[in-house]
Amino acid sequence: MSPSFEAAVRGRHLLLALLCLFTSNVGSGELLTLSEVKDSAVSPAATPCWQVEQFVVAGECRKCTLFEVKTLLACIRTAFVMKINCPESRREEYKSCRSSSMEETLFWRFEAAMISLGLVFAAVVTLRQRALDRLASEKVRKQIESI
């Protein structure tokens, strides 16, 4: 195999891996973020109650204030937080969450990027096709002139 073919295959594998990562995180707001996965590996004493027991949502997902972003660890991840109660340990904590408005904004940004890319590539294809048509007609004209 040629080096360029191997590089193309590696590039496709990387693109496929990135696509899988992106689509798995966009579809569901219940997936753990990387920092939540790291937090779950810490000792049980430092583990938030919502990771080890059932909890009740005491407050809806809301945007953190500037002060909360600086002080609450849960706000640092997504800038959205919800208040939860853990009945077994009788603790009240905050849990990072994903807001539907944030998800909608991300969705529309993605849609705009895809439409833009589609328009750019459509223009490139059209220009390329015109150039190829021009070359073909010029070749036919030269062949007719040589007769």
- The stretches in the chain having pLDDT less than 50 are 25-32, 34, 36-43
Q: What is the pLDDT of residue 12?
A: 63
Q: Which alpha helices (DSSP H) does 27-99 contain, by range?
A: 34-39, 49-52, 66-71, 73-78
Distance CA 133, CA 127 (A): 10
Write phi, then psi, for 81 (nearest 5 degrees). Answer: -145, 150
Predicted TM-score (pTM) of the model is: 0.46
What per-residue confidence (pLDDT) applies to 96? 86
